[in-house]
Amino acid sequence: MSVLVFIETTNGTIKKSGLEAMYFGNLIAAQKNTSCHAVLFGNADKANILGKYGAKSVFYIDYSKGFDTGIYTEGVLSAAATVGADIIIIAHTFNGKSFAGSVAARWNAGIVTSVNALPNFDNGITVTKSVFSGKAVATYRINTTKAVLTLAGNSIQIQESGSEVTPQKLDWTPSEPKVKVLERKTSEGLVPLPEAELVVSAGRGMKGPENWGIVEELAKALQATTACSRPVADTGWRPHHEHVGQTGVAIKPNLYIAIGISGAIQHLAGVNNSKTIVVINKDPEAPFFKAADYGVVGDLFEVVPKLTEAVKKFKSSQ
Amino acid sequence: MNILVCISKTPDTTSKISFKSENKEYNPDGISFIMNPYDEWYALVRAIELVEQNGGNVTTITVGDASNDMIIRKGLAIGANDAIRIDINPKEPFEAAFQIAEASKQKPYDLILLGKETIDYNGSILGSILAELLHLPFISFATKLELSGKTFTVTREIEGGEEICQVEGPCVISAAKGMAEQRIPNMKGIMTSKSKPLNVMAPVAYQNKVEVLTFTLPGEKKGVKMLSPDQMDELVALLHEEAKVI
Ligand SMILES: Cc1cc2nc3c(=O)[nH]c(=O)nc-3n(C[C@H](O)[C@H](O)[C@H](O)COP(=O)(O)OP(=O)(O)OC[C@H]3O[C@@H](n4cnc5c(N)ncnc54)[C@H](O)[C@@H]3O)c2cc1C
């Protein structure tokens, strides 16, 4: 009986979602009076810090051929057997949700994805998640003794609670992957949208791609990631990966600033789990104001530069 | 080539959500249901295109009761050749994947396609469970899918970018936006869909691993605080002191 956390890395760097999963696993282990362990693929040079978020031991798998559901499933289950885990935690990232189901199937375990709070162990394992585009919360009970949970991003506040540990190599050799990764293209430097804590998003109210400078300025001042509404991505004003909403990325940042976005239900579906929403729109009747915490009625071409100035002033006074 | 496409129905996003049986069950009364957009616009259409180019057959498969027949007929009208429905309302994605795996063991497919997730529960795990139960490779979030010989070349979404990968069929692939363009069924499609085969199969016994205990509606938002364009310093102060997000 223990908890195993899968940690995703990019070029050896541990993502924030990974630290959240680690800390979440640590809290579950504390609830169950057991220990928590971590497993990762590839370079473990930066993995010592996992100890600070509760890992008692950290295992790495010597493998760098890219993501394959089969290999990742086998590797994680090999680590689970090594540490005697009965709960596996995986962050709800693109790759995480791509193999969590296989892990559950091979382990014959119940699985709930995108869990947003700590489980309760009073009667089986009960967990909650947001469903129907954020319009309801479902409470599930897992009836198997083994369970796989994926953790929605930004669901818990991480805290350091232990000391570093030295990673050890897992005694398991991966076979040849069935899926060959030929190429990987990511926009360097930026925090990817699903992990961003602060997001500045803009819609058709911007009138054209040439006007995005003011949005980028604001994002830069806040050190936020940029996003957009669907028509903006569809017409090629902004790259496709910035598209949030029901048919795009669903996000849950601490702060979502919506600029010139009307707040259609399909857009809200991807953003209404944000902690704080600021809406800037010239139309006081824009539906987005109903979902907002703070609203500014005004011309975005006037409001956004003013907000950027105010942010810069605040940052320099800190 | 024979392609199996998993399709399911979901409530339209704009529909109002309510629950019944002491909040244990979703209330479908008065809700308009649609085919899950990722299944319809991308997975199904790409399957039809591949068969148009290479010959073969597109079968759709749905786990659910007869209330699904409407979306199944729509799939046939868009261009699927035949359809399977397994007559049980699944309580969890694992159960749906299990039933599809059992049904597809009877007739092997060269490719199984499905949407990346449904827009109601957004579980996004059916594909990987299915692939594991069938011992097939799996690629998720595919925005592009090309076939040459038996090799599929796939572009898939990852955080802040994309990845290009290759896999030999048979395999399971989940579809995201970009894989194909939505097709509206034409009159001929709608007419012929009525005579295409829809095979209803009995489910295989399955022990549920997960169940929904209750649904709750989130509390109302506190209400929006309005500021004028001249109060941007105040807005920043509120974000710092009240919301504590910057
Ligand atoms: C099945 C389906 C799925 C969909 N999925 C998504 C999705 O995932 N994501 C998504 O975003 N949309 C989605 N949509 C589209 C959605 O319904 C809306 O059409 C879309 O979100 C509108 O984008 P917008 O707010 O940028 O544009 P608009 O609705 O045109 O809104 C522009 C807003 O800008 C304001 N504005 C204009 N000029 C100014 C100015 N100078 N200053 C301040 N404000 C200004 C206007 O008042 C208006 O409110 C989907 C639709 C369907 C049918």
Tell me the CA–centroid distance for residue A294 and ligand 1, in Å: 19
Which has more confidence, B159 or A301?
A: A301
What CA–CA distance (Å, rounded) separates A103 from A4? 12
Task: Say if A140 falls within a structural domain.
Answer: yes
DSSP assignment letter at A243: B
pLDDT value of residue A188: 61
> Are both A113 and A253 inside the same structural domain?
no
Percent of chain B's residues with pLDDT above 70: 99
Of B122, B209, B236, the CB nearest to A311: B236
What CA–CA distance (Å, rounded) separates A268 from A313? 31
> Are both A113 and A145 inside the same structural domain?
yes
Task: Say if A154 falls within a structural domain.
Answer: yes
Ligand 1 atom nearest to A288, measured from its CA: 49
| Percent of chain B that is helix, strand, coil (3-state, to 5) | 30, 30, 40
pLDDT value of residue B222: 74
Q: Do the beta carbons of residue A194 and residue B159 sit within 8 Å?
A: yes
pLDDT value of residue A247: 85
- The predicted-structure confidence for A107-164, as pLDDT tens digits, reads as follows 999 999 999 999 999 989 999 999 988 889 999 999 999 999 999 988 898 999 889 9
Query: B146 forms bridges with which residues in the sheet?
Result: B153
* Pick from B245, B224, B14: nearest CA to A256: B245
**In A, residues 109-138, which contact B (CB 8 Å cutoff)?**
109-114, 126, 131-138
pLDDT value of residue B180: 96
Model confidence at B162: pLDDT above 70: yes
Task: Say if A84 falls within a structural domain.
Answer: yes
Instruction: Tell me the pLDDT band of A221, cut-offs 50, 70 and 90.
Output: very high
pLDDT value of residue A132: 87
> Are both A9 and A144 inside the same structural domain?
yes
Number of residues assigned to chain A: 318
> Are both A159 and A302 inside the same structural domain?
no
Model confidence at A189: pLDDT above 70: no
> Are both A57 and A103 inside the same structural domain?
yes
> Are both A18 and A133 inside the same structural domain?
yes
Ligand 1 neighbours (beta carbon < 6 A): A 203-205, 229-232, 245-248, 260-262, 264, 266-267, 270, 281-283, 286, 299-301; B 37
What CA–CA distance (Å, rounded) separates B219 from B221? 6
Judged by a CB distance cut-off of 8 A, whether residue A94 touches chain B is yes
Task: Indicate which residue's Cα is closest to atom 48 of ligand 1.
Answer: A262
Percent of chain B's residues with pLDDT above 90: 87
Name the residue range of residue A156's domain.
Answer: 2-169
- Domains in chain A: how many in total? 2
Chain B residue numbers touching A140 (CB-CB < 8 A): 210-213
Task: Say if A174 falls within a structural domain.
Answer: no
Encoded tokens for B147: 């076939």
Q: Compare all CA atoms of chain B with the CA of A100 and give the residue at the minimum distance.
A: B125
Model confidence at A207: pLDDT above 90: yes
pTM score, two decimals?
0.89
Q: Residue B166 corresponds to which amino acid?
A: Q
What CA–CA distance (Å, rounded) separates A247 from A242? 12
Mean pLDDT value across residues B194-218: 95
> Are both A158 and A49 inside the same structural domain?
yes
Chain B residue numbers touching A248 (CB-CB < 8 A): 177
Nearest C-alpha of chain B: how many angstroms from A35? 25
Task: Say if A53 falls within a structural domain.
Answer: yes
> Are both A96 and A225 inside the same structural domain?
no
Q: Find the CATH number of the domain harbouring A312.
A: 3.40.50.1220
What CA–CA distance (Å, rounded) separates B24 from B22? 5
* Pick from A104, A95, A197, A110: nearest CA to A155: A197
Q: Find the CATH number of the domain harbouring A89.
A: 3.40.50.620
Ligand 1 atom nearest to A270, measured from its CA: 8
Query: A110 forms bridges with which residues in the sheet?
Result: A147
Tell me the CA–centroid distance for residue A204 and ligand 1, in Å: 6
Place of tokens 């375990």: A109
Kindly list the structural domains of chain B, giving each domain's residue range(s) and its CATH number in brackets, ordered by start. 2-213 (3.40.50.620)
Q: Which residues of A79-191 form beta strands (DSSP E)?
A: 87-91, 110-115, 125-131, 136-142, 147-151, 168-169, 180-186
Task: Say if A176 falls within a structural domain.
Answer: no
Percent of chain A's residues with pLDDT above 90: 86
What CA–CA distance (Å, rounded) separates B84 from B27? 25
Of B160, B233, B243, the CB nearest to A192: B160
Task: Indicate which residue's Cα is closest to atom 51 of ligand 1.
Answer: A266
> Are both A144 and A231 inside the same structural domain?
no
> Are both A108 and A240 inside the same structural domain?
no
Q: Which of A169, A203, A224 is the last residue of a domain?
A: A169
ipTM of the complex: 0.93
- The predicted-structure confidence for B76-111, as pLDDT tens digits, reads as follows 999 999 999 999 999 999 999 999 999 999 888 999
Task: Say if A187 falls within a structural domain.
Answer: no
Q: Compare all CA atoms of chain A with the CA of B221 and give the residue at the minimum distance.
A: A291
> Are both A90 and A231 inside the same structural domain?
no
Residue-averaged pLDDT of chain A: 95
DSSP assignment letter at A120: B
Task: Say if A184 falls within a structural domain.
Answer: no
Of B127, B138, B160, the CB nearest to A190: B160
* Pick from B97, B72, B71: nearest CA to B84: B72
Ligand 1 atom nearest to A263, measured from its CA: 25
Q: Do the beta carbons of residue A25 and residue A57 sit within 8 Å?
A: no
What CA–CA distance (Å, rounded) separates B48 from B58? 7
Judged by a CB distance cut-off of 8 A, whether residue A180 touches chain B is yes
> Are both A165 and A249 inside the same structural domain?
no
Q: Residue A97 corresponds to which amino acid?
A: K
- The predicted-structure confidence for A93-109, as pLDDT tens digits, reads as follows 999 999 999 999 999 99
Residue B42's contacts (CB-CB under 8 Å, 6 or more residues apart) are: B115, B175, B176, B177, B178, B179, B180
Instruction: Tell me the pLDDT band of B13, cut-offs 50, 70 and 90.
Output: confident
pLDDT value of residue A134: 80
pLDDT value of residue A35: 97
